[in-house]
Amino acid sequence: MGKQYDLVIIGAGPGGYVAAKKAAKLGMSVAIIDKGDVGGTCVNRGCIPTKALIYSATLYRDMVDCEKFGLYAKDVGFDLQKIYEYKSLSAETMRKDLEHEFAGLGIISVRGTATVQNDRRVRVAREDGMTEYFTGKYILIATGAKARMIDIPGMDLPGVMTSEELLLSNESRYPRLLILGGGVIGIELATVFNALGGKVTIVEVSDRLLPNMDKEFSDTLEEILTKRGIRIYKESILEEVAKKEEGLKCRYVYQGKNRETEVDAVLVSVGRTANTEGLFDPDVPIRMENGRIVVDDFFATNIPGIYAVGDVVGGIQLAHVASAQATYVVERMNDVPPSVIVEMVPSCLFVPISIVPSCLYTDPEIASVGITEEEAQRKGVPIRCGRYVMDVNGQSIISKEEQGFIKILFAADSDVILGAQLMCPRATDMIGELATAIANGLTSSQLMYAMRAHPTYNEAISCAVENSRDSKPDRSAYLLR
């Protein structure tokens, strides 16, 4: 039978480690298994190292441009090796904190490759060649996803990589970088290498960057990135990568014409696929569709006692979604009332809307929650939209970060908040207030009850809400200037 636990978790990323800590605090015996480091992709080769690089690059750009504050800095430069060391240290610090928490809670952490067998038994092939067996009252699968590659010539050449490979690197510098994909990961890393002086090209198959984002924000972001020197080719298809004597040659189709660009590296950022390879023995009758594990509304698989959360089940592929789902599952296992939700049906609608914040750590930051103006139009939902441009916000004037705006959507009849999109400094922090407002069905009147300090970026929320309440808002006064 092997070692027995109340809960055996496969995958130690944001879904797995949150589930482990929650279960241990509720008195369950827990074993968590991962073939890599604790923290999974997010901590080790995803969210944390990416944001560390963004922080370094943004500081460097601010130092170079500090004359606007009356400051002068001579010989401003950077050491890419030290930036990478800082990036690695950030991941290491968080990883060690998690390991310390596991030890304190009595969670057994096992490093090895897990395979689910029948009767809720898990076989683990350890790095040292030994094999162990674990049996759980429950099994939770949180193996996440891996970067997807595309089938075109040259994808196996040195210098062609995924974001995970790039973020694990500690030595490479890319003066000329082509990024395939204009989604969140691609754009964030484009801003990093652009800020550090690299020549960056983005090739995106869609007709806009961030296809799932509000179009007004996509267009504004494209304008900002283009002004910074990033070349953007939309509705384009990369057809081949070839080896040159120095670097790589990329051939792609743009506006019906063949184009070529010579670069030092290619970053492939075209989405992620569920990480299920070798996860189940052949005789385990797990139900899967398109490589993803199928679960019901309670994240239960078709096999009693086995659950799955996060990227491995598809849906919204964000770390905080995996964590919320994991918390929900463990609470249900212990008959504890759920403390988290990821979507709700407002009183004025007949369809659920997401209350999951989506964040982009560019400069300015972008954050979104709920429905967008375009979605509301597609669904036939009458709305009022409040807008506020940040160039007259006091804190934006002080920091000279005046590009950006805020949009907040309310149901036209019931006045309930349905969505919000922010493009401004601290947007990724400010979006939490609006997600809370949607989750609690607040109206514009209720949002105005709370005072917001002056001068702050956050007070712009009050201005956007107030704009939505104007009987005849002057839209021309709120256009991006």
Residue 245's region, left for phi above 0, alpha for psi from -120 to 50, else beta, is: alpha
Residue 153 lies in a domain: no
Structural domain boundaries, residue 412: 353-478
Residues 128 and 215 grouped into a single domain? no
Query: Within a 10 A sphere around the Cβ of 102, how many other Cβ atoms?
Result: 20
- State pLDDT tens for residues 11-44: 999 999 999 999 999 999 999 999 999 999 999 9
Domain count, the chain: 3
- pLDDT tens for 110-122 read 999 999 999 999 9
Pair 172, 141 in one domain? no
Is 234 in the same domain as 295?
no
Q: With 90 as the cut, is the pLDDT of residue 51 above it?
A: yes
Q: What DSSP letter does each residue of 118-160 carry, written as one string?
A: TTTEEEEEETTS-EEEEEEEEEEE---EEEPP--STTTTSTTE
Is pLDDT at 478 greater than 50 in this prediction? no
Mean pLDDT taken over the chain? 92
Return phi, psi of residue 442, to 5°.
-75, 150
Q: Is residue 154 part of a domain?
A: no
Asked if the structure places residue 345 within a domain, the reply is no
Q: Is residue 341 part of a domain?
A: no
Place of tokens 């309310």: 410
pLDDT > 90 fraction of the chain, expressed in percent and rounded: 82
Domain end: 270, 296, 320, which one? 270
| Residue 479 pLDDT greater than 70, yes or no | no
Annotation says 454 is catalytic:
yes
Q: 0.95 cut: is pTM over it?
A: no
Give tens-digit pLDDT for 370-392.
999 999 998 888 999 999 999 99
Domain boundary among 270, 298, 320: 270
**Same domain assignment for residues 167 and 66:** no
Do residue 195 and residue 280 come from a single domain? Answer: no
173 in the same domain as 237? yes
Statement to judge: residues 246 and 311 lie in one domain: no
250, 270, 290 - which closes a domain: 270
Instruction: Look at residue 343 and tell me if it is in a domain.
Output: no
- Does residue 457 lie within any of the structural domains? yes
Same domain, yes or no, for 141 and 167? Answer: no
Same domain, 262 and 284: no
92 lies in the same domain as 219: no
Position 476 scores a pLDDT of 42
Same domain, 138 and 278: yes
> Are the beta carbons of 464 and 470 closer than 8 angstroms?
no
Name the catalytic one among 228, 454, 475, 481. Answer: 454
Q: What CATH number did the domain enclosing 174 receive? A: 3.50.50.60
Do residues 360 and 369 lie in contact, with contact meaning Cβ atoms separated by under 8 Å? no
Write the pLDDT tens digit of every residue in 261-291.
Answer: 999 999 999 999 999 999 999 999 999 999 9
**Percent of the chain scored above 70 by pLDDT?**
97
Residue-wise pLDDT for 201-236, tens only, equals 999 999 999 988 888 899 999 999 999 999 999 999
Same domain, yes or no: 118 and 30: yes
pLDDT of residue 471: 53
